[in-house]
Structure 1
Amino acid sequence: MNKPWNVVVLVGLAMGLGAAGGYWFAGQRGTDPSLAIVASAPEGSKERKALYWYDPMYPQQKFDKPGKSPFMDMQLVPQYASGAEDAAALSIDPGVTQNLGLRLGVVTRGVLDSTLDVTGVVTFNERDVAVVQARANGFVERVYARAPGDVLPVNAPLADMLVPDWAAAQTEFLALKAQGDADLLAAARQRLRLTGMPATLIAQVERSGQVQPYQTLTSPIGGVLQELNLRAGMTLATGQTLARINGLSRVWLVVAVPESEAGSIMPGQTVEARLPAFPGKTLTGKVSTILPETNPDSRTLRVRVELPNPDGQLRPGLTAQVRLHHPGEPSVLWVPSEAVIRTGRRALVMLAQGSGKYRPVEVQLGQESDGKTAIVQGLEEGQKVVASGQFLLDSEASLKGIVAPAQDAPPLGTSKPLHEADGQIVDISDNAVTLAHGPFNTLGMPGMTMTFPIANPGVVNNLKAGDQVRIAVSQTDDGLVVERLEKRGNQP
């Protein structure tokens, strides 16, 4: 009968010891500076005045007096003020910064070049094509060992052709030469040219004094033999196509660019290409042509890049990783992209203020490239931001009710920041304009076609659909508004 009572006593003692041990462990953990971010004020401090009270589970809401949280079944927590900075900043013991893995980046001013990584395929340069045709009626006497796909040097022989009409004209030319009449000889020489006889063959006849009825057809350029329509014994007619050769001295790299990036591509843009066939080798070229049609299946725009191919190693069909470079604005502020915290509604960074203090700051972002993000508003050159470990600080700031203030609108009488891009007018009215525009880099907005309201009717004066324009927009609470449209040069 005593055993159950003994068991109850033992269980009670174990629970009491466990609770006491838990409180002791929690107290030890709270005093270890390597495990916690320093609180803004010790609990129960009578020397410090509470700025406000808040619910740790809903820190955005602040209360002016203590009490029970309307959100959770718990008491509100006071936020103390130990100085002006403590109310809006986190304090971290410098001794634990390394343990938290904090790494800082500097707000830098400089050129931020944008790059775009895409894929491409090497193809023939269709501007470097030579066609061999019969210049007169004749017969194929001999065909050299050639086949489509062969890579030929310049002046490579293709076939020997007999042209009876040339034999008669050459005989007459040699007879006039023997007479020594210069005028008649010049007229006979011109007749040879009109029959389609090459200048080299005329010179050979004049030099040797013998009739040369045979012509050796050769490749006018070096390259790939794409087509060969020659067989021994064939009868040839004037103008008949006999062979087609595609040069390899320069090749095209056809690149597929997403339509959202199409507005940032311009002829003459620098390109770097790396081919898996030649590891470690980087080829440089320039955008030569932007094709007018978009692929309806992949929603990509085809761009041609011309690459030099002096050694002939680049063969059609090879794939390449392509990087397109686009020069950015000459002077912009930028931070490492990893320092930016994107919440969905706005972008934040954790600003390092020195002496172990950090506070969240809202920023407006521009373009992003190569691990760098442009800052349009919110920071100054030389400031330091947290580039690693910032999410831990942001979480702690939220728990303490420290919220980054929203960016203020420009004061009255000051100019609004404008964001610019190039585009074309699709449709136009007195109060709105539809534009097919390129990317607004300072907004991080890709190119697209959309309708904008205009600031005033004077913006669209003397403009019409189809005009190429430079666009300047401002950002308002209701969206983007067109402030200026400037017609670009070289237009009718």
Structure 2
Amino acid sequence: MNHLFRRIVLLLSVPIMLAPISLPAQQADEDREVLYWYDPMYPQQRFDEPGPSPFMDMDLVPRYVEQDAEGDGPATMRIDPGIMQNLGMRLATVTREPVRIRIEATGQLTFNQRDVAIVQARSGGFVERVYALAPQDMVEQNAPLADLLVPQWVAAQEEYLALRGLGEPELLAAARQRMRLAGMPEELILQQETRGQVQLIWTLKSPIAGVVQSLDVREGMTLSAGATLARINGLDTVWLVIEVPEAQVAGLEAGQTIDARLPAFPGETLEGTIAAILPQASLDSRTVQVRVELDNHRQKLRPGMTAEVAMDRQEDEALLVPSEALIRTGKRTLVMVAEEGGRYRPVAVRTGRETADKTVVLEGLEEGQQVVASGQFLLDSEASLRGLTAAPADPLTPPASALHEAEGTIVGIEDDMIFLDHGPFPTLNMPGMTMGFPFADPALLEDLEEDDRVRVGVRESEEGLTIERIDKLEAQP
């Protein structure tokens, strides 16, 4: 059966053999030097003269000097300088210079959590009066918050005053110590000593100026010792918390200055210092919080305001190229390197950080080389059509040959071959015909049958063309 199928394929090929096709692309350009002639199906076999292929029904294809990766260097293509000028293509030089990273991020003002005062009841007692305050009110230092009556303090004061007339300094000192141990503040002790009478009411005051965050005291309440009555946050300084992408945190350190601009104060730039880089990154946004301390002696900065922040970071020297010169394919990054004689070649590069309008190149380029900074996508398309592949960024990795594509119809499938009636392979200068191809993986043929329309990708090797990709197409109406 297999022999019969091969004869059928051969008969289908007879008309093509009787009328060989000669494509214009197969003609050698007079102004280009031909290295050798070859059949794309058997690239390992080379010929010194043009003519029909002894293997297939097609003409031999010229291989030019600039196309050969084994000649003077990686495969290149030549573009007329006039065309380059008409297309407005620009070149840029690969430079080595200090890397200045400018990080721009947004942040939000918050309270300085180190400038907090907690007001508590020193002893159990009763609330006699609460001053007109509420959470988020601004208070001055020593502003009254509430009046408290503490019975324990009254008894200690009476004992002290009773001992003052006995002329017993040791007993008087012990009575004074008992007032301190009962929790009486030094200020209240001095008042009763000066006036010589019991101080019934203790006025609770704010220890700092700032914002009342909480006020948990009401008139008539009974207080227990240690109960929290108020929480006050200072406003002399505020924190600006910035969300910095984790890839840009390296190099930032405490003490570094930043510039902040707030929408609330257009045209004004505030200067602050990095107080801390917090140790935990956000799993959702992949950012790290940077805490900046801002002076707020004029009390105009309010927690909750937003700010735009700019930070500069200096790093060691590195190779830089314009970011616009990079061609990002999703799998790798390429640049088009310009060489003498109007020749260009694609090169794969490994990139690092971006700074302003330039990108650090870690591998693939050398200082002084020129790359195409404008119009490189047109050159990349032309290189793909010619089957030119990029030189790898890692010199230890050998370059892979290009993947050439065409459409066709399956006319037969055997154990180790698939026979296609295919159209031309433009990047191989190969006309359409009916022939068999080996395939890289049997899994490629799953769900495929005879008469299916497919698009195949073949790769050149020393053994010929091998199918490495095959996609089934929708049936034509």
Q: Which TM-score band applies after superposition, normalised by the shorter structure? A: 0.5 to 0.7
Q: Which residue of 2 aligns with 1:487?
A: none
Q: Is 1:194 the counterpart of 2:178 in the alignment?
A: no
Residue identity over aligned pairs, in percent, reads: 49
TM-score, structure 1 as length reference: 0.59
TM-score, structure 2 as length reference: 0.60
Closer, same or farther: CA 365–157 of 1 in aligned 2, 3 Å? same
Q: Which residue of 2 aligns with 1:336?
A: 322
State the Cα distance separating 1:228 from its structure 2 match. Answer: 1.5
Aligned residue among 165, 170, 192 for 1:205 = 192
Number of matched pairs:
362
- Residues in 2 aligned to 1:150 and 1:406: alpha-carbon distance in whole angstroms: 65
Contact 1:362–1:406 (Cα < 8 Å) also in 2: yes
Closer, same or farther: CA 206–397 of 1 in aligned 2, 3 Å? same
Q: Which has the larger radius of gyration?
A: 2
State the Cα distance separating 1:229 from its structure 2 match. Answer: 2.6
CA deviation profile, 1:157-199 (whole Å, cap 9, x unmatched): 1122233433443344345455565444433332221121111
- Residues in 2 aligned to 1:262 and 1:383: alpha-carbon distance in whole angstroms: 28
Q: Which residue of 2 aligns with 1:242?
A: 229
Q: Which residue of 2 aligns with 1:383?
A: 369
State the Cα distance separating 1:149 from its structure 2 match. Answer: 1.5
Aligned residue among 186, 191, 214 for 1:227 = 214
- Residues in 2 aligned to 1:250 and 1:67: alpha-carbon distance in whole angstroms: 85
Q: Which residue of 1 aligns with 2:35?
A: 51
Closer, same or farther: CA 397–62 of 1 in aligned 2, 3 Å? farther
Closer, same or farther: CA 286–62 of 1 in aligned 2, 3 Å? farther
Contact 1:112–1:332 (Cα < 8 Å) also in 2: yes
- Residues in 2 aligned to 1:102 and 1:62: alpha-carbon distance in whole angstroms: 38
- Residues in 2 aligned to 1:113 and 1:123: alpha-carbon distance in whole angstroms: 29
State the Cα distance separating 1:129 from its structure 2 match. Answer: 2.9
Q: Is 1:103 the counterpart of 2:90 in the alignment?
A: yes
How does 1:310-459 map onto structure 2 within 5 Å?
310=296, 311-321=298-308, 328=315, 330-353=316-339, 358-399=344-385, 403-407=389-393, 409-410=395-396
Q: Which structure 1 residue ranges, 5 or more long, are not aligned?
A: 1-40, 412-492
State the Cα distance separating 1:150 from its structure 2 match. Answer: 0.7
Closer, same or farther: CA 191–364 of 1 in aligned 2, 3 Å? same
Closer, same or farther: CA 169–379 of 1 in aligned 2, 3 Å? same
- Residues in 1 aligned to 2:360 and 2:184: alpha-carbon distance in whole angstroms: 66
RMSD: 4.5
Aligned residue among 128, 136, 161 for 2:123 = 136
Q: SS in structure 1 opposite 2:180? A: helix
Closer, same or farther: CA 137–401 of 1 in aligned 2, 3 Å? closer
Closer, same or farther: CA 357–198 of 1 in aligned 2, 3 Å? same
CA deviation profile, 1:74-117 (whole Å, cap 9, x unmatched): 98466467x96998353543x66554323333322234355665
Closer, same or farther: CA 337–67 of 1 in aligned 2, 3 Å? farther
Q: Which amino acid aligns with 2:225?
A: T
Q: Which amino acid aligns with 1:337?
A: S
Q: Which amino acid aligns with 1:144?
A: Y
State the Cα distance separating 1:344 from its structure 2 match. Answer: 4.3
Q: Which residue of 1 aligns with 2:289?
A: 303
Q: Which residue of 2 aligns with 1:88?
A: 76
Q: SS in structure 2 opposite 1:169? A: helix
Q: Is 1:286 the counterpart of 2:274 in the alignment?
A: yes
Closer, same or farther: CA 187–262 of 1 in aligned 2, 3 Å? farther
